[in-house]
């Protein structure tokens, strides 16, 4: 029996989480992911683990009762493309898969820690509270956010949050996003764009209350996302749905300038039109309410935007 199962293990947060487990001396880990024909396999280099399974093989073993239950499942496997329009695909990957795995964990008394998303909050007009009483009121702006929201709601309705943990990751960035193509975070895209053109394009604002580049997000360095995730394995008394964010909102201009600084260059930023597929579905402001997480005893400071971007750029230039 493996001690851990990590789904989405070759993905961005998953890869960093497995590295975090390794850094704590944990290697008895089964990885679950579909590597396909992409370069995602490269994220496995340097990791220590027991075995790796495809998603279909893993689910097949679970459904047939042939998978030995571990101590903890970190469920990070999902379609993370906010622009994905195939609702059936998103339901299968982000809702049905999560529900089946959660029910298996509950039946076998396995700790279940899964990735929700700040996309569940929609346009933010109703705030960013992760209190159970507030969860049903939110209206995501895209099907990706709704597919995550659906599981949050079923877990709340069934009372599963007494035993499981959901983490609403805000804008996570950092090393090992190479495989994500257009869904890479802005520090990744900015670094590549600056190297190629010497300038950075940020989206114009289409709301008068926000100047161009002054749209704000809660940017979370991936190392902090890993630390919060592992905290809930190490503290099984704490369960529920929690925000995973810094609680500080920063502008895209702040982020862009941090990338230029980390590259040792003067800022050269222009503003570009937002693609039609994003207009009307774009979050202009996000900021995690961290009170519920703090109440569990988690008190590790989050990495500043400047420090996190510097670590990301150092990785990209290494």
Contacts of 236 (CB under 8 A, 6+ apart): 111
Select which of 49, 114, 144, 146 is catalytic.
144
Token code pair at residue 192:
């590549």
Helix or strand (DSSP H, E) at 202: strand 200-203
Select which of 3, 42, 180, 204 is catalytic.
180
Token code pair at residue 14:
């998953």
Nearest to 31 by CA among 12, 18, 43: 18
Token code pair at residue 296:
């569990």
| Dihedrals phi, psi of 268, to nearest 5 degrees | -140, 90
Active site residue 188: no
Nearest to 181 by CA among 47, 259, 81, 90: 81
Q: How far is CA 104 from the centre of its chain?
A: 23
Tally of CA atoms within 13 A in the half-sphere of 164 that contains its CB = 31
Contacts of 56 (CB under 8 A, 6+ apart): none
Compute the CA torsion angle 243, 112, 133, 287 (nearest 10 deg). 10
Task: Answer whether 198's CB lies under 8 Å from 268's CB.
Answer: yes
Active site residue 298: no
Task: Answer whether 54's CB lies under 8 Å from 29's CB.
Answer: no
Task: Answer whether 245's CB lies under 8 Å from 286's CB.
Answer: yes
CA distance 64 to 62: 6
Contacts of 103 (CB under 8 A, 6+ apart): none
Give catalytic residue positions.
144, 180
């Amino acid at each position: 029996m493996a001690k851990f199962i990590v789904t989405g293990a070759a993905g961005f947060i998953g890869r960093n989480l497995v590295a975090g487990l390794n850094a704590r001396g944990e290697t008895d880990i089964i990885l679950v992911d579909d590597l396909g024909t992409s370069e995602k396999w490269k994220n496995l280099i340097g990791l220590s683990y027991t075995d790796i399974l495809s998603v279909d093989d893993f689910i097949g073993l679970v459904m047939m009762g042939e998978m030995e239950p571990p101590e903890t499942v970190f469920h990070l496997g999902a379609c993370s493309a906010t622009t994905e329009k195939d609702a059936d695909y998103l339901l299968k990957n982000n809702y049905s898969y999560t529900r089946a795995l959660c029910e298996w964990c509950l039946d076998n008394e396995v700790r279940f820690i899964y990735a929700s998303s700040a996309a569940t909050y929609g346009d933010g007009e109703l705030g960013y509270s992760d209190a159970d009483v507030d969860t049903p009121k939110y209206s995501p702006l895209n099907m990706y956010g709704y597919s995550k929201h659906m599981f949050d709601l079923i877990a709340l309705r069934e009372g599963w949050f007494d035993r499981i943990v959901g983490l609403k990751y805000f804008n996570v960035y950092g090393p090992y996003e190479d495989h994500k193509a257009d869904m890479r975070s802005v520090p990744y895209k900015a670094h590549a764009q600056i190297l190629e053109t010497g300038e950075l394009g940020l989206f114009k604002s289409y709301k008068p209350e926000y100047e161009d580049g002054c749209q704000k997000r809660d940017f979370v360095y991936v190392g902090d996302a890993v630390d919060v995730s592992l905290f809930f394995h190490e503290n099984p008394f704490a369960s529920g749905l929690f925000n995973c964010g810094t609680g500080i909102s920063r502008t895209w201009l702040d982020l862009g300038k941090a990338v230029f600084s980390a590259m040792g260059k003067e800022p050269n930023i222009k503003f570009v039109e937002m693609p039609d597929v994003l207009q009307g579905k774009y979050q202009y402001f996000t900021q995690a309410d961290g009170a519920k997480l703090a109440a569990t005893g988690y008190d590790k400071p989050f990495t500043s935007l400047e420090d996190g971007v510097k670590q990301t750029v150092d990785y990209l230039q290494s």
